[in-house]
Structure 1
Amino acid sequence: MAGVERFAHAGATIVAERRGHGERAYVLIHGIGMGRSVFADLARHLGDGEVVPLDLPGYGEAPEPARVLTMERTADLVAAYLRKRVMQPAVVIGHSMGAQVALEIAVRHPEVVDRIVLVGPTVDPTARSAPRQLWRLLRDIAVESPRVIARGAREYVRAGPRLRAKFHAMLVHRPEDVLHLADVPALVLRGEDDLVALPAWCRQVADGLPQGRLEEVPDHGHETMIRDAAPAARLIREFAGEG
């Protein structure tokens, strides 16, 4: 199956782009201010199976909901989509804020999840404020390629004037409180040079997951799935049993 589809549930809408087909489904959930377009390179490298990058409500081409969704409500929406449209337990891959959504899907709706991949997970409790998160993001992206910076800037503009409220929804979520409830195979993936998701926090996340493990991608920062996604894709495929 291929194509772009909209899915509405409980007053909010996501946009999903479905590519390929097969027994395995990879569902890609973007970070704050981003959209499904940032996964173009990763999707090309994931190999066999169906790849489904999403635009969360109010990002990319998905319309703004009446109210900004919490991480939990966003997880409920994505899980409803998986249940009704994908119809098989999926490898749910979340990047940055998307890792928080992926975690909550595993906690709240484990029946739709085969395993989860948390890439550059946020929010580190030692940096749970907008200024600290923004400073880390700016430092990390400063060393990225012009292509990554341009794509990120475009997606932030598309995220609209409610970005501050979306940032708040991300910051008030406490992933450390629910890690122990996500009892599915879980890979925490970190760029070796990531200045947003620091080593100690990623280790805490991996250790807090009942079936968690940590891997690092050399010579990559926080945008490890956007720029040169082949190394991240290889680790994800090995974790999913395709290596």
Structure 2
Amino acid sequence: MTPEHDARAAEDATPYRFTHAGATVVVEETGSGDRTFVLVHGIGMGRRVFGDLTDVLRPHGRVIAIDQPGYGAAPEPVRTLTMERSADLLAAFLRYRRPPGIVLVGHSMGTQVVTEIAARHPDVAAGIVLVAPTVDIEARSAARQLGRLARDLAVESPVVLVKGAQESLHAGPNLRRKMHAMLAHRPEDAYGRIDVPALVLRGENDYVSPRGWCETVVALLRNGRLAEVAGHGHETMIRDPRPAAEHILEFSDGL
């Protein structure tokens, strides 16, 4: 697909592909304006879980939702990407696309990718939002992460369960390798290198991203603050995205 074709596809909201260094993302754009919200999903998910959030954010700017390599409609890469390589890929896409006023919004594992973009490519974004950040230093194992997620999902709405199950099917046979890449990453080593403003956002009842860990993330960031969504868990942007969107919009208005 040529760059010209990519641009035309973006204008009519048709999903399109961007390939860099042997890995491919699928991109869907909607809305317009001088602010751009780039939505980066977590492990086992894809851009479609952000459909309701996109509807809330679209009146306030452009929204770009991404399928990372091996998720959603994006093809499986030859080798599972590290968080750093995922960040380099998305940074290359954003430099190519050059949308205005970028606010990176990562959910769960997506916060690790967003963190590395901000640390490694400080010119890309005006601000970042880390929703339900992983991986808590005290739970850096697959067993503990899955145990916490199971507790969270046990009280989640059927909408979250259905969307999560659908997207997990698209994550392919290499989910174990992707989990290893997520757990091997140490986001705490990158937080202190981020200069742009950062909002750390968690659901009040989030077992995967407990408040103590989120407070640690804020303390490590140079310019971070914490907000909570009452009555929500780890999937706060999926279950009912409006409260999270209000925090995201308030944060972006201050950039």
TM-score, structure 1 as length reference: 0.98
- Deviation (angstroms), 1:207: 1.2
Long gaps (5+) in structure 1 = none
Cα distance change of structure 1 residues 112 and 89 upon mapping to structure 2, 3 Å threshold: farther
Q: Give the whole-Å Cα distance in 1 for the aligned partners of 2:33 and 2:184.
A: 37
Kindly provide the amino acid, as one letter, of the partner of residue 154 in structure 2: A
SS in 2 for 1:27: strand
1:155 aligns with: 167
SS in 2 for 1:122: coil
- Deviation track 1:142-175 (CA, whole Å, cap 9, x = no partner) reads 1111111011011111101100000000000001
Contact kept in structure 2, 1:82 and 1:88, CA below 8 Å: no
1:200 aligns with: 212
Contact kept in structure 2, 1:88 and 1:112, CA below 8 Å: no
- Deviation track 1:56-91 (CA, whole Å, cap 9, x = no partner) reads 000000000000000000000000010001343410
Contact kept in structure 1, 2:30 and 2:63, CA below 8 Å: yes
Kindly provide the amino acid, as one letter, of the partner of residue 140 in structure 1: D
2:52 aligns with: 41
2:69 aligns with: 57
**What CA RMSD, in Å, does the superposition of the two structures yield over aligned residues?**
1.2
SS in 1 for 2:104: strand
Long gaps (5+) in structure 2 = 1-10
Contact kept in structure 1, 2:34 and 2:101, CA below 8 Å: no
1:97 aligns with: 109
Contact kept in structure 1, 2:36 and 2:99, CA below 8 Å: no
- Deviation track 1:165-219 (CA, whole Å, cap 9, x = no partner) reads 0000000000111110011100000000001000000000011110100000001
Q: Number of matched residues?
A: 243
SS in 1 for 2:161: helix
Kindly provide the amino acid, as one letter, of the partner of residue 226 in structure 1: I
The 5 A counterparts of 1:113-192 are 113-192=125-204
1:106 aligns with: 118
Residue 18 of structure 2 is aligned to residue 18 of structure 1: no
Q: Give the whole-Å Cα distance in 2 for the aligned partners of 1:187 and 1:195.
A: 19
Q: Give the whole-Å Cα distance in 1 for the aligned partners of 2:92 and 2:154.
A: 37
Q: Give the whole-Å Cα distance in 2 for the aligned partners of 1:19 and 1:67.
A: 30
Percent identity between the two aligned chains: 60
SS in 1 for 2:240: coil
2:7 aligns with: none
- Runs (4+) of structure 1 exceeding 4 A deviation are none
Q: Give the whole-Å Cα distance in 2 for the aligned partners of 1:25 and 1:122.
A: 24
SS in 2 for 1:225: helix
1:3 aligns with: 14
